[in-house]
């Protein structure tokens, strides 16, 4: 199993953090462009799902699967978006995303007064803890 990469978006489309572990395919654009494309796609998927859903959605979008990778999505009520790409054999990555939010993001970004909200995360501690958590997860 592999974890490919991770995007964290704020509620207003800023890419807060990007990390990558195993990525073979470079998309051929800059990181900013790619983040915009990704955010745009997620935004469209969200409204697509809202319209096409036969019942009232609660969590909405959970994940999508292609032939090579799975994109796992978690959105908090405050609009923060976590996107983790893994391979197709990983199940229930949502737990890891929730852990990432509550144990890493809240602990090392929200509780750090030096971290500006809605701006890219610079904290070295956050970076290390995140890396540690992902590498110790069974999906890696």
Partner 1 sequence: MVIYGVYIVSKSGGLIFNHDHNVPKVETERTFTYPLDIQLNYENKKIVVAFGQKDGIKVGHVLTSVNKNPVNGRELDDGRDVLDMLSNAENFPILLKFSRSKMTTNEKIFLASMFYPLFAIASQLSPEPKCSGIEVLEADTFRLYCYQTLTGVKFMVVAEPTQAGMDILLKRVYELYADYALKNPFYSLEMPIRCELFETHLQTLLETVEKSGISNV
Of residues 62 and 117, the one with the C-beta less far from partner 1: 62
Count of residues interacting with partner 1 (CB under 8 A): 40
Q: Is 12 exposed, middle or buried (0-12, 13-18, 19+ CB in 10 A)?
A: exposed
Q: Which of 31, 32, 50, 128 is close enough to bind partner 1 by CB under 8 A?
A: 50
Binding mask 3-42 for partner 1 (x = CB under 8 A): -xx--------------x-xxxx-x------x--xx-xx-
Q: Please tell me the distance from the alpha carbon of residue 5 to that of residue 2, in angstroms, as a whole number.
A: 9
Of residues 73 and 108, the one with the C-beta less far from partner 1: 73
At 124 the three-state DSSP class reads helix
CA 97, chain centre distance (Å): 7
For residue 77, state whether it binds partner 1 (rule: CB under 8 A): no
Structure tokens at 2: 């592999």
For residue 1, state whether it binds partner 1 (rule: CB under 8 A): no
Q: Which of 15, 71, 74, 80 is close enough to bind partner 1 by CB under 8 A?
A: 71
Q: Please tell me the distance from the alpha carbon of residue 26 to that of residue 20, in angstroms, as a whole number.
A: 11
Q: Please tell me the distance from the alpha carbon of residue 124 to that of residue 140, in angstroms, as a whole number.
A: 21
For partner 1, the binding residues (CB under 8 A) are 4-5, 20, 22-25, 27, 34, 37-38, 40-41, 44-45, 48-69, 71, 85, 87
């Amino acid at each position: 199993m592999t974890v490919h990469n991770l995007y964290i978006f704020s509620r207003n489309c800023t890419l807060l953090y990007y990390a990558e572990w195993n990525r073979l395919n470079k998309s051929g654009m800059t990181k900013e462009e790619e983040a915009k494309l990704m955010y745009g796609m997620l935004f469209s998927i969200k409204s697509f799902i809202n319209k096409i859903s036969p019942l009232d959605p609660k969590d909405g979008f959970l994940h999508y699967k292609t032939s090579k990778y799975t994109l796992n999505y978690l959105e908090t009520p405050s609009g923060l978006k976590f996107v983790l790409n893994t391979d197709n054999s990983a199940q229930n990555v949502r737990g890891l995303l929730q852990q990432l939010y509550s144990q890493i993001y809240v602990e090392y970004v929200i509780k750090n007064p030096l971290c500006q909200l809605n701006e890219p995360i610079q904290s070295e501690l956050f970076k290390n803890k995140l890396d540690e958590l992902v590498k110790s997860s069974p999906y890696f």
